[in-house]
Amino acid sequence: MIGQTNILVIYTGGTIGMVQDPKTLSLQPLTFDILYKYLPVLENFNCRIDFYTFEPLLDSSNMSPSFWIHLASVIEENYEDYDGFVVLHGTDTMAYTASALSFMLENLNKPVIFTGSQLPIGMVRTDGRENFINSIEIAAAKDVDTPVVPEVAICFENKLYRGNRTSKLNAENFGAFISGNYPILAEIGVHIKYYDNLILKPNFKKLRVLKELDENIAILKLFPGISQSSVDAILTTRGLKAMILETFGSGNAPTAPWFLEQLKEANSRGIILFNVTQCKGGSVDMGRYETSASLSKIGIVGGYDITTESAVTKLMYLLGCGFSAESVKQLLQTSLRGEMTV
Ligand code: ASP
């Protein structure tokens, strides 16, 4: 129908659609038909809403790159038929999936809005109802014919975040997410206030979906007292191609000779070392302190203000694209989808 807005809701699982098993008291996923019964208001929207349900439904702790590829493929197959997409997803790994999708969907010119909830939709005080309804409205929003939010975003508790800038911050509060280094894209009150200057602009090019992800990466989170054997164990992981070094503050790490020697040796074996801060706000600034200058000399790449979630998925994507190590290092320091401030 000309002029009609069509939204595809992709239900992957998560708390939003769960009910309590009366016997075990654990939360288990609902089918979409039942979930839909809790939201009759969806029928009043001025757009057509269709559904695609993952089989089986997943607690997001069971998400993996193969599911990200499945999700990207569903969006690709339906891209021409819909104006926007809403992905219902568990909150635990939502920031990883949203980050992964932001890299995999090159030339995305339509909204892909992730949402979920802290309380199941069947519960009286659920936050799922608002999150779901707001997400549909945002996915359908257009300025004349152009979508208002042509990027991967997370809609949660009256805020819209860039997907690859978020982290899950709180396991209980309705405000579960933080975007420590990038402002929100929209604020949801009586009206939805979009901050157009912060939202990515469409490029009107054809969507390209990259479906190769290389999982040969690892994260080494530093802590005072980290042992030589545990660093060694990670760096000698079979098949390892890249490691995220989660550093202190503005990208700092111990200067103990054994530690630097191990990193130097890994770098000389061609392992890409990516410096990402453990802080939820602020940026890696290699060279600001002596404790990061030594990392720079070894050839470690600084990740500016990228989140760990984004770093993991960007590395899987870049390695999956088959770029040389030198190109990967260069692209790690380039903002591809607004994931970092260079
Ligand atoms: N464990 C759930 C999940 O991530 C939590 C949630 O949805 O909030 O699937």
Each domain of the chain, given as residue ranges in start order, spans: 5-209, 217-332
In the numeric block, which tokens belong to residue 111? 């909204």
Read off the pLDDT band of 287 (50, 70, 90): confident
What is the per-residue pLDDT across 149-166, written as a single tens digit (0 to 9) for each?
999 999 999 999 999 999
State which of 16, 18, 20, 60 you would mutate to test the pocket of ligand 1, scoring each by most atoms of that ligand within 8 A of its C-beta: 60
Ligand 1 neighbours by CB, cut-off 6 Å: 13-15, 59-61, 90-92, 116, 118
- Separation between Cα atoms, residue 178 and residue 220, nearest integer Å: 22
Q: Which amino acid is at 155?
A: C
Residue 84 parent element (H or E): strand 84-88
pTM: 0.95
Q: What are phi and psi of 143, to 5 degrees?
A: -110, 105
- The residue contributing the CA closest to ligand 1 atom 3 is 90
Reported for 193-196, long-range contacts at CB under 8 A and 24+ positions apart, including other chains, are: 194/141, 194/148, 194/149, 194/160, 196/148
CA of 91 to the centre of ligand 1 (A): 5
Choose the weakest-confidence range: 47-61, 96-110, 233-247: 47-61
Residue 166: which of 91, 90, 95 has the closest Cα? Answer: 95
Angle at Cα 313 formed by Cα 311 and Cα 318, nearest 5°?
A: 90
Q: Which position has the higher pLDDT, 42 or 131?
A: 131
In the numeric block, which tokens belong to residue 253? 């790490």
DSSP structural state of residue 206: P
- Separation between Cα atoms, residue 322 and residue 277, nearest integer Å: 26
The pLDDT, as a whole number, for residue 122 is 79
Same CATH fold assignment for domains 5-209 and 217-332: yes
DSSP for 299-312, written as a single string: TPEE-TT--HHHHH
Query: Which residue numbers are catalytic?
Result: 15
CA of 258 to the centre of ligand 1 (A): 40
217-332: CATH topology is: Rossmann fold (3.40.50)
- Separation between Cα atoms, residue 302 and residue 291, nearest integer Å: 13
Counting atoms of ligand 1 from 1, which one is nearest the CA of 116? 7
CA R_g for the chain = 21
Choose the weakest-confidence range: 27-36, 61-70, 93-102, 210-219: 27-36
- Selected from 3.40.640.10, 3.40.50.1170, 3.40.50.300, 2.60.110.10, the CATH number assigned to the domain covering 5-209 reads 3.40.50.1170
